[in-house]
Structure 1
Amino acid sequence: MTGLALVLTEPRARFRDLLAAEWCKVWSLRSTGWSLLLGVLTVVAFNVGQAWDRYRYWPTYDPAARAGYVRDGMALWDAFTGNAAMVMLLAAAAMGAVTVTGEYGSGLIRTTFAAVPARRSLMAAKVLVVAGVTTGFGAVAAGGSFFATQAILSVHGIGLSIGHPGALRVVVASALLAPVSALAGMALGTLLRSGAATIVANVVLLLLVPAVTSEKRHWSAVLAHVQPQKAWQRLVKTVDWPEPFPWTVGGAWLVYAVWAVAAAAVTVLAVQRRDQ
């Protein structure tokens, strides 16, 4: 018919479609499953190694040391160690970073943005998928570590249950360290767009900065208290040792939340006018 034109317009992608696409994209990489599996095994191995060492040398402890260990709930310190937290932090940050830098490195990001012009929605979907995957990773690693270590310690009657005061907080704080770190890695990857540069930035920001800060001076304590690693240390602490500048458990949870929200916002907003 003359005078009439048939205009075909592609329907806008629904957000659940973007979630499904990003979910498939993450799991289409063979390295994803292996990285998660090796990450969990490494984290659990560090913690089980600490618990086994405690089990092995427990008979050599004097009565005062044994009483102090039980009184202070030190079994929770063995449930998730600092070394394990460092491994989880770096592994999760790398997972988050590669979901962004991998696409920029291969050039796939141009195709992705061409197919989905709604960049913010696309990146929001990517953020949710990565947060969900790494939360599961953290939950398996933290929960597995807790139950494995306490089973070992229970041979000597010093293991604790998940209902012990502070035990659940240790598990949850350790599990959530993974998505917080992953979102930070995503934000850095979105800004730097280079895998190598992002890995270096992750190490500097998430490990070196907390390592060089001290809680002996006020300005340094303030800087330390806004770091995810330091927040994790506060959350898993079972004894309130005297400190020059103490801070609260609520403050540590707030640090987790602020880092997660800020990192997600950077990831979503930084791509609006940048293709490469």
Structure 2
Amino acid sequence: MTALDVRMASVVEPRARFRDLVASEWLKLWSLRSTGWTLLLSALAVVAFNAGTAWDHYRYWFQYDAESQAGFVKQGMALWDAFTGNAQLVLILCSAAMGAVAVVGEYGSGLIRTTFAAVPARSSVMWAKVLVVAAVQTLFGAVVAAGSFWSTQAILGVRGAGLPISHPGALRLVVASALLAPVCALAGMALGALLRQSALSIVGSVVLLLLVPSVLSDRRHLTAVLAHATPLHAWRRLVPSGFDEVLYPWTAGAAWLVYGLWALGAAGVTVLAVRRRDQ
């Protein structure tokens, strides 16, 4: 064996660092033009739904009698406009779809084979992808929730009905609405890792995050418990709704726990699905 052979044999390719994997996933996500446009259009749609509801109350304010106007202000009903149910549905759909595409898109293009060939540690690759998607969606949710609160309260503030962020329940509404985005995005990623088809993953996200929770009734104990275990009902528990009388009440702490368990469970499924199956 020559000296050149010895030197070449001693060269060992360094193991990929996790921060390099995170940087790689960040570049892959933002290299797609659709990422920025999707986030922008989704944010505008969510804020528009909320601002539109506040605008309706502003526009028809003087058609209410004095007692109704006073009740609107006293009961803090401006918070109901800060993040409406329609906006929440749009947020769930957009975030879940983006999470699913973040995984499925790489399988569809075949890039996942190159990625795993370069970095055989599949778990590290997927954890980096989970971290990047969760960070982007958390920032997206924060911008959307804060923008919705500011715009709606500014509109209603002209009529003297707007509320500050220090109002009881206001900060919790903003935080719960913001964190709903990464929770649903991670759920979409988990379905994408399992199904590996864009259409199926998006339809599965709609069924899992919207249809199933919608058909679970709060009028029976079993279905109420199952409903409480979904992000949709957890969000409804955390935000002011004006309907405090429920047959099977539960705490805000339990709703936050549902958020955490869904996020951790979805991240775990995303990683394990790749480890147990070929690309």
Counterpart of 1:206 in structure 2 is 209
Moved over 3 A (4+): 1-4
Q: Any stretches of 5+ residues in structure 2 without a counterpart?
A: none
Q: 1:137 aligns with which of 140, 146, 158?
A: 140
The farther-off stretch of 144-153 and 1-10 is 1-10
Report SS of the residue matched to 1:275. coil
Counterpart of 2:193 in structure 1 is 190
Counterpart of 2:36 in structure 1 is 33
The farther-off stretch of 64-73 and 14-23 is 64-73
Report SS of the residue matched to 1:9. coil
Counterpart of 1:262 in structure 2 is 265
Shift of 1:273: 3.3
Shift of 1:241: 1.6
The farther-off stretch of 238-247 and 207-216 is 238-247
Q: 2:64 aligns with which of 54, 61, 71?
A: 61
Q: Aligned partner of 1:18: which letter? A: L
Q: Any stretches of 5+ residues in structure 1 without a counterpart?
A: none
CA RMSD of aligned residues (A): 1.3
Counterpart of 2:91 in structure 1 is 88
Counterpart of 1:242 in structure 2 is 245
TM-score by length of 1: 0.97
Q: Counterparts of 1:252 and 1:70 in 2: how far apart (Å)? A: 27
Counterpart of 1:232 in structure 2 is 235
Q: Counterparts of 1:200 and 1:240 in 2: how far apart (Å)? A: 30
Q: Aligned partner of 2:34: which letter? A: S
1:110-189 → structure 2 map (5 Å cutoff): 110-189=113-192
Q: Counterparts of 2:121 and 2:83 in 1: how far apart (Å)? A: 41
Counterpart of 1:15 in structure 2 is 18
Q: Counterparts of 2:2 and 2:252 in 1: how far apart (Å)? A: 73
Q: Counterparts of 1:110 and 1:274 in 2: how far apart (Å)? A: 13
User: How many residues are aligned here?
Assistant: 276
1:242-267, CA deviations, whole angstroms, 9 ceiling, x for partnerless residues? 11101111111111000000001111
Q: Counterparts of 1:72 and 1:23 in 2: how far apart (Å)? A: 44
Alpha-carbon contact 1:70-1:158 (below 8 Å) kept: yes
Alpha-carbon contact 1:72-1:238 (below 8 Å) kept: no
